Amino acid sequence: MQEMRRVEKPSTPSLKDKGSYLRYCRHFWRDAVLIAVFFASMWVMELMNRPFGTVRDLSIPFDQVIPLMPWTIVIYMSWAPLIIALAVVYFLYDRHLMRRYLITLGIGQLMANVTFPFFQTMIPRPYEEVFAGTDIFSKMLAIVYRVDNHYCGFPSIHVINCVITMVMIWFFREAKLWVKLLVTIYFGFIAISTVTTKQHVVLDIPGGIVYGLLAIPLSIPVIRLYEKKVLTESTL
């Protein structure tokens, strides 16, 4: 009798059937919670973005060679909107990939946030040059400098998220090859923009790459556990 009352769970919502979204939310509300928790977790770093114990400067001579390019702040700041956009696209076309993407990003950020209190770094910034700039890009960069403290450099969360995004887009079966290449290349530019805006130093990039690559296999058991819990739930 109980089996007869079980309601079939909706598949990935159809863009043409508005009713499927209601059924989706009814049976898979945890996905909405997952999305909310992930975006809330993006602000945890701000709690760590202050000096803890020994603060290190990981600058190397190559950092002095890289020029400041204020216009790249546009690329640097585009990462969050693009991650949101990709999460929405995955929600519409591949719910499993959406979960995998967000959980992996969350684990990568968690690993970084755990690192910061024990290995805090300080990023040297060209404050005078940026604040003296009169162009729109220098003004935008100056705003970022004012609202974003210059700690929590290693590993770069920007780079962690870029690496995970660059890998995950290749699992998106609905995307054409040129879209996958475009996303991969553009997020590569975002990673580079972390040093051209002087928001990070060079060594923060390989740190972010390592953390991002580690987060991918570490997230697999978490994703399996999460989906098992979601997919075995009956009516709410």
Could you give the CA distance from residue 69 to residue 46 in angstroms, rounded to a whole number?
25
Residue 205 is given by DSSP the state: H
Torsion region of 66: left, alpha or beta (phi above 0 gives left; psi -120 to 50 gives alpha): beta
Torsion of CA 85, 111, 52, 37, to 10 degrees: 50
Cα–Cα distances (Å) from 220 to 100, 105, 163, in that order, read 8, 12, 16
Please, which pLDDT band fits residue 185 given cuts at 50, 70 and 90? very high
Is the predicted pLDDT of residue 30 greater than 90, yes or no?
no
Quote the percentage of the chain above a pLDDT of 70: 86
pLDDT at 190: 97
Could you give the CA distance from residue 50 to residue 122 in angstroms, rounded to a whole number?
9
Is the predicted pLDDT of residue 231 greater than 90, yes or no?
no
Query: Using one digit for the tens of pLDDT, what is the confidence trace for 69-120?
Result: 999 999 999 999 999 999 989 988 888 899 999 999 999 999 999 999 999 9
230 vs 177 pLDDT, higher one: 177
Give 192's contacts (C-beta < 8 A, 6+ positions apart): 72
pLDDT at 19: 67
